[in-house]
Chain A
Amino acid sequence: MSLADLTIAEAGKQLRSGQATSVDLLEAVIERASFTEAQLHCYLTIDHEGARKAAESADRELAAGTDRGPLHGIPLALKDNFCTRGMTTTCSSQILAGYVPPYDATVVSRLRSGGAVIVGKTNLDEFAMGSSTENSAFGPTRNPWDPERVPGGSSGGSAAAVAVGSALGGFGSDTGGSIRQPASLCGVVGFKPTYGLVSRYGLVAFASSLDQIGPLARNVGDALTLFEAVAGHDPLDSTSYPGPVPEMRSDLEAGPKGIRVGVVTELSGEGYEPAVSTAMAEMLNRLAADGAELVEVSLPTFELALSCYYLIAPAEASANLARFDGVRYGLRVDGETVEEMMARTRAEGFGPEVIRRILLGTYSLSAGYYDAFYGQANRLRTKLIREIAEVHERVDVLVSPTSPTVAFELGAKTQDPLAMYLSDVCTIPADLAGTPAISVPVGLDHQGLPIGLQVMAPALGEAVMFRMARAVEERAGFTARPAMAGLPT
């Protein structure tokens, strides 16, 4: 087995026992990438030189007895909407092609100081807008389980890289499901924390009130390790949670016994592939057999969450993306006047999905429409938050499929934005509510494509969420890897 297929926990043991060095780990994932990238295109940038230096430094430090913790020397992949000092950060957009930030996002600086080795920057749907990583100005990422299919999105590059072994772990950002849905489609664990637990400073904003950074990993334990390395208050992000990060490890192995599990009625039925529904039902049976208490719960506002999301997120995006105007950085297309220059730059620099959402958002904020659209969506959001809080008086966690379908074929939904938007129907409620949610792989369908189960918890309920996720993982026994992960044979 290649070092590229180790979990972070295993790799850490090998580093500390001297069986492998950080440079060995880095070489293994880069070797893996050299076989898979041509087909998968997980990365937009691989920082060979910077990663090598970081790995060598990690090895020197470890040899000298300096141990920066569980990510010391571990090669990781970062979504290309995290600002990385001296390394291009494009958000998969022509408008930022070649843009090199002068500063590190807080998450990036925490990873660096934790000794992590940043392999490179991964592909995404442009400005994180999409569910398939097809909306990238630099070409799509493909699913390692079947390269004819999408990896999900928008953090498709990180999810696919972790799945195939061109990184041991990775990070993405989740605004409407952009970590969990690709995790589900790529057969890895993806976790979106409680809003505010991870700093957004240096994450190129899509929808500020929804965006949250989180890990992608090969198992629940690794996801927790990655999360712990970056979580916690950041004075540079006013919306960052000022209290302590919840303690999550002590109950991790406590099992499902006594946990009240809410099964969300609204996230089932029509539109859900049978294999997905079956996998979930089987898992629920096993959990119940081991003492979990299953409760059917109804959250009627979930039915409206998608519409609500597609008013709020584009509205915020329309302002967040206004700064890309050709004046100070990024692409500039000249014009006769400043206004014309800005208009041309934006028309050429943004792809069609981004333009669609900017128009949608601008419209819903316009005088005369605000109350009917943006205002109404916010009232609905408040209602949803209350509904979730109320249901958590009766249940500890909520479960649902992460995605109604397994990975779909490239191009299958590109002409039908609404069908694409429906990919996120299960994941959006947790973003709107700011609550934690995780996707755990529970099996493969008849075509050999992964299926994910989502566990949601109340705000700051990470401990019970991780405990449940671990219980699911243990019962699923999901050890399958995409065939490509075996390359070269």
Chain B
Amino acid sequence: MSTWEPVIGIEVHVELGTASKMFCGCPVVFGDQPNTAVCPTCLGLPGALPVTNGTAIEWLARIGLALHCRIAPFSVFHRKNYFYADVPKNYQISQFDLPVCVDGWLDVTADGEEIRVGIERAHMEEDTGKSLHQGSGGRIHAATSTLLDFNRSGVPLVEIVSRPDLRSAAQARAYAQDLRALVAELGVSDARMEEGSIRFDANVSVRPVSTKELGTKVEIKNMNSFRSLERAIGSEIDRQIGVLEDGGAVIQETRHWDEEVGATKGMRTKEGSSDYRYFTEPDLVPLEMPASTVERIRTDLPELPADRRHRFGQLGLDSHLVNVLSGSDPDLRRVFDEAVALGADPVISANWITGEVTAVFRRAEASKAEVRIRGSDLAELVMMVKQGTLSSSAAKEALSGVMAGEGSPREVAEARDLVQVSDEGLIGAAIDQVLAANAEAIERLRGGEEKVLGFLVGQVMRATGGKADPKLVNALLRQRIT
């Protein structure tokens, strides 16, 4: 029995969150009353013409640059012809052989291994309307009628096509998640899978290990979460291996992932449906992107997730902490960066951010309460613990006070009387008192009865009202007794 290697490529569609649609002035909206954000152009009325949304093109270049693509100085739109009820012109304005972005890559970590996924292209197109099949649980075959909503028609849609560089379902999931995070980071889309503003299709084939020739690929659609993407690809890999090991052949087709059944299902393939008769869109002039514009967009790029992970690693965070911190809320990550810049220990700061701060933040977010913490607060908190001014439990209490808006950690600690006594003179005086009253205990300790130390520490803590730094008390006691 031979072993098989899966080969996976991912196609991603991202709806851009520009103010207006790709080729008309209608607003980009989600969830509005059907057919309220429409005009002659996005309804495909006779005589209407498209006008390119320049912001959308710049945002596409932003995505392309973040994916290390080359930005074509000259690119053109094509018409992709196919009849479908929610495609109002029965062609989609898309790009064919001259896309805006080509030849990039994205580094992805999956199963502890870093892989570089090639990006073949990223191009601009327009979204279709939505078909709402009535009386059939949303299924077209049993529908009694279909309603059409064109609010989504003409929304700018970026298609990002990876090279077939992924070798497992887990890698595919990691790529999809990282790409989503990247797009969200760029601020060009909500990138919400559940709203369909980011959609993933996978091309899957398998081949015998250590062969070069690609197997027949199958396109998988209808994966609505990262989990279903991973499951669908895994299931499809198993299916294809099963077919091949039974001596069969994989058929090139499009298959739908059925979440409930947990398997992909073949769709009825239409003959000749793959000939889209692409030709240059005569209603639009070619797109030109001067080098100066590309440079401006490049300069405006935020720190990218992969670069940030690398930076976190260099600060001494282990890979687990890097992952958790990278996945944290951007506002909290900013607090972390500010605290570290102010000299706070990165590992301790990261533990605070990913632990207690996130916990408070989530509780507060759930109750819609305002959360107030600045980088300087975190730096101060870390410093106070390090200096022994706050015990770790007192620090947690101080933090909750800070995040409730009661002031800086020091102000909260003072107001709530949380400050540890670390003054050697004060503690020394208390020790002297305790030792004077417990001569017998000292003798027992000197005789080797170690547990007595705990009793003495307790006495000193009591004498200081519980505010002395226990470590310091311990150390000073030993000093005096030995």
Contact = CB atoms under 8 A, between A and B. Distances in A.
A27 interface: no
A323 B89 contact: yes
B90 A201 contact: no
B43 to A, nearest CB: 6
Nearest to A99: B46
Contacts of A65: none
Contacts of B90: 319, 322-323, 325
Contacts of A319: 79, 81, 89-91, 277, 279
Contacts of B50: 238
A238 B283 contact: yes
Given A102-B40, A323-B90, A338-B85, A236 B49 contact: yes
Given A235-B51, A315-B279, A366-B277, A325 B46 contact: no
B43 A328 contact: yes
A390 interface: no
B405 to A, nearest CB: 50
B285 A239 contact: yes
Contacts of A183: none
Interface string B22-48: 000000000000000000100111111
Given A239-B285, A339-B83, A83 B279 contact: no
Nearest to A235: B51
Given A209-B282, A327-B85, A362-B277, A338 B146 contact: yes
B282 A238 contact: no
A171 interface: no
A35 interface: no
Contacts of A322: 81, 83, 89-91
Interface in A75-98: 81-83, 89, 91, 96
Interface in A350-408: 362, 365-367, 370, 374
A59 interface: no
Contacts of A201: 47-49
Contacts of B79: 319
A267 interface: no
Name which of B47, B48, B88 has the most chain A CB atoms within 10 A of its CB: B47
Contacts of A367: 275, 277
Interface in A315-341: 315-316, 318-319, 322-325, 327-329, 338-339
Contacts of B47: 81-83, 89, 101, 105, 201-205
A362 B278 CA distance: 11
B464 interface: no
A370 B279 CA distance: 9
B52 interface: yes
Size category, A interface:
35 or more
Determine chain A's interface SS by DSSP, over half rule: loop
A186 to B, nearest CB: 26
Contacts of A180: none
Contacts of A209: 282
A238 B46 contact: no
A202 B48 contact: yes
A26 to B, nearest CB: 26
A103 B24 CA distance: 14
Contacts of A239: 282-285
Given A101-B46, A236-B49, A208 B40 contact: no
Interface centre among B52, B85, B279 (most CB of A within 10 A): B279
A187 to B, nearest CB: 30
Interface in B253-288: 275, 277-279, 282-285
A15 interface: no
Given A101-B46, A205-B47, A238 B81 contact: no
Nearest to B277: A365
A282 interface: no
A203 B155 CA distance: 24
A235 B53 CA distance: 12
B98 interface: no
A236 B46 contact: no
B148 interface: yes
A123 B279 CA distance: 31
A389 B40 CA distance: 37
Shortest 3 CB-CB contacts between residues of A and residues of B: A322-B90, A208-B282, A209-B282
18 contacts: A102-B45, A103-B45, A201-B48, A202-B48, A237-B49, A238-B52, A238-B285, A239-B282, A319-B79, A319-B81, A319-B91, A319-B277, A322-B81, A325-B83, A329-B46, A338-B146, A366-B275, A366-B277
